[in-house]
Amino acid sequence: MASSNNRTSTYTQVSTSSDHDRPRSSDAKKDMWSSMLDGVASGKKLPEKNILVLGGSAESQREFLEALSGEDARKPQDRQSSKHPPIANNFALGYTYHDVLDADHEDILARLSIYLLADPSPSFTPLLQPLLTPQTIPNTLIVILLDWSQPWFWLRELRDWIRLLRTLLVSLNNECKEKMEEVMISWRDRGRGGNALDGGGTSSTTDSDVSLPLGPGEWEEALGLPLCVVCQNSDRIEMLEKERSWKEEEFDFVLQTLRTVLLKHGASLIYTIPSVTSPLQSLIHSSLSIHSLLKRQPLKHNVIDRDKVVVPPNWDSWGKIRVLREGFDVEAVNNGWSIDIEETYESNSHVNGDTAKDSEPVRAPGGAVEAFEEVIRDPSLDALQATAHESNGLKLEVSSVDPQTFLSTQLEILDKLRQDASGMDNSRLARGRLGSPSFEGDEAHADEGRVNEHIGPVQFNMGGIQVDADDMLQRLKERQSYQTPDPASPGQVSSPDGKSQNEALASFFAGLMKRGGGSAASSPKPGL
């Protein structure tokens, strides 16, 4: 009986303990549904990736977005997700988003939040700070846009953006800085050892592979975030050849300079052409660790085709840069770039208040920007220099003179002009007095003789008398030349030849009768 009672007591204790520990049915259902919903939510949650697009205009930024979503835009249009999201990039910090689809265009691999900024003004730094947190830093890529329409500004634009990024990243808190350091360490180890990243964004090296040590100039100026430089509209290279007379030396120099500068930041480089398929998508996706299980394409480098250049991250080196063309001083460009990005600016404000573009750096000797712009010159500056050479190479200078000194010199000039004007009036008066009628008459006779040579004598019939018009005019002029009456003969007018007016008239009409002898009225009749 004792053992029986002990068993009953033990069973009762176990049963009581089990009933106490067992949850209620409602709580169990609630926990079960919560765990299931959490699992579904985590499975459906899309990876969030961020891209900071810096530089370019509103139009060129749209072209970049179209190139980034080029393959996805050709997917079937019956899906609701095929609608293109709006792009707001006309003012300050713009924004849009893009869903990255798998190869079959059915599954969404990730969602890209794309922020766009066209002006490297430091005043926009507070807009970018909230975008960089310990959670977003590992999933963020920086893209800088350049355009082949103005390659002579490239290094200056890169310098301004790098300086802005350095200022931005330094202003972050310590937690963000630690996360950026982890990101840069992982990036330095990705794809090293001569193997490029594949389309899935993973390194083709195995865990047993040992990464090669860093070469000279590699990762010397790490930014803390991956960087990709996109040079748009590379089809304008032909225009530079035709209109600017560029040769292979200029194109190689631009590429070698860009590769040397970007090597210091561990950045990638790509040339793109509008509406032409390029590895841009693969490069951006691999930089953000977005990979497809259905389709993997290796990201291959290309430094041979000058309009289709692709330089993946961690692929380039000084040796490869020198091979492109001999004589390129890669060490000088590398050192000069470190000087350029550390320079301080002097703001030159203009009327429009646009100090961001008008700010000029305090140039240090040996800067990479200065060396680049000496070879790749701005055509507008060449035109100004040509104008300066035409004016004996003198630069336009503005100087001020004391007002009294200026007025005294002007007084001397006015006196001289007054004297010249007075002398000119006297000479005109003298010419008027010396201009005799005989001189004017001689000139008139000369003109009349030249006319007569062309038209010959002019004759007409007047009352049956043939009259020579030239002779009549001459006699009328002689009649008008009589001046004053002779004092000895008050009723007569003296003529230059001493004949009276009546005698002159009689002689005139007698002459007319004689000159008309050839007419029928004046000819004698036969037999009379």
The whole-angstrom separation of Cα 209 and Cα 203 is 11
pLDDT of residue 484: 45
Contact 288, 169 (CB under 8 A): no
- What's the Cα-to-Cα distance from 117 to each of 137, 273, 420, rounded to whole Å? 18, 21, 67
Each domain of the chain, given as residue ranges in start order, spans 44-387, 400-431, 461-518
Residues 6+ away with beta carbon under 8 Å from 226: 140, 141, 142, 183, 187, 266, 267, 268, 287, 313
Cβ distance 227 to 284 under 8 Å?
no
CA dihedral over 251, 257, 260, 262, signed as positive or negative: negative
Structure tokens at 266: 């561990």
CA proximity to 387, closest of 396, 376, 378, 374? 396
The beta strand positions in 29-164, using DSSP E, are 48-54, 94-101, 108-117, 140-147
- The reported pLDDT for the residue numbered 262 is 96
Residue 296 tokens read as: 């993997």
* Distance of alpha carbon 308 from alpha carbon 198, whole angstroms: 18
Print pLDDT tens along the chain (528 aa).
444 444 444 444 444 444 444 445 566 656 777 776 665 555 557 889 999 999 999 999 999 999 998 755 544 444 444 567 888 778 889 999 988 888 777 788 899 999 999 999 988 999 999 999 999 999 999 999 999 999 999 999 999 999 999 999 989 999 999 999 999 998 888 766 544 455 444 444 444 445 678 889 999 999 999 999 999 999 999 999 999 999 999 999 999 999 999 999 999 999 999 988 889 999 999 999 888 776 777 788 999 999 999 999 999 999 999 999 999 999 999 999 999 998 554 444 333 444 444 445 455 566 999 999 999 999 887 655 555 555 555 555 667 777 778 787 888 888 888 888 777 666 655 554 444 444 445 555 555 555 555 555 666 666 667 767 677 777 777 776 654 455 444 444 444 444 566 676 667 666 655 555 444 444 444 443
pTM for the predicted model, two decimal places? 0.62
Contacts by 83-86, CB closer than 8 A, 24 or more apart: none
User: Is the C-alpha dihedral spanning 319, 320, 322, 323 positive or negative?
Assistant: positive
Q: Which CATH number is 44-387's, of 1.10.3720.10, 3.90.105.10, 3.50.30.50, 3.40.50.300?
A: 3.40.50.300
What is the rounded distance in angstroms from the CA atom of residue 99 to the CA atom of residue 7? 67
DSSP H or E run through 12: helix 2-21
Q: Is residue 70 classed as helix, strand or coil in its secondary structure?
A: helix
pLDDT at 427: 61
d(CA 100, CA 47): 10
Q: Cβ contacts of residue 146 below 8 Å, gap of 6+? A: 55, 56, 154, 157, 158, 229, 230, 231, 232
Give phi and psi for 389, each to the nearest 5. -65, -35
- 112 contacts 51 by C-beta, under 8 angstroms: yes
pLDDT of res. 163: 95
Distant-in-sequence, close-in-space partners of 244: CB < 8 Å, separation ≥ 6: 379
Question: How many other C-beta atoms lie within 10 A of the C-beta of residue 265?
Answer: 26
Residue 1: its pLDDT value, please? 46
Q: CA-CA distance, 329 to 368, in Å (whole number)?
A: 11
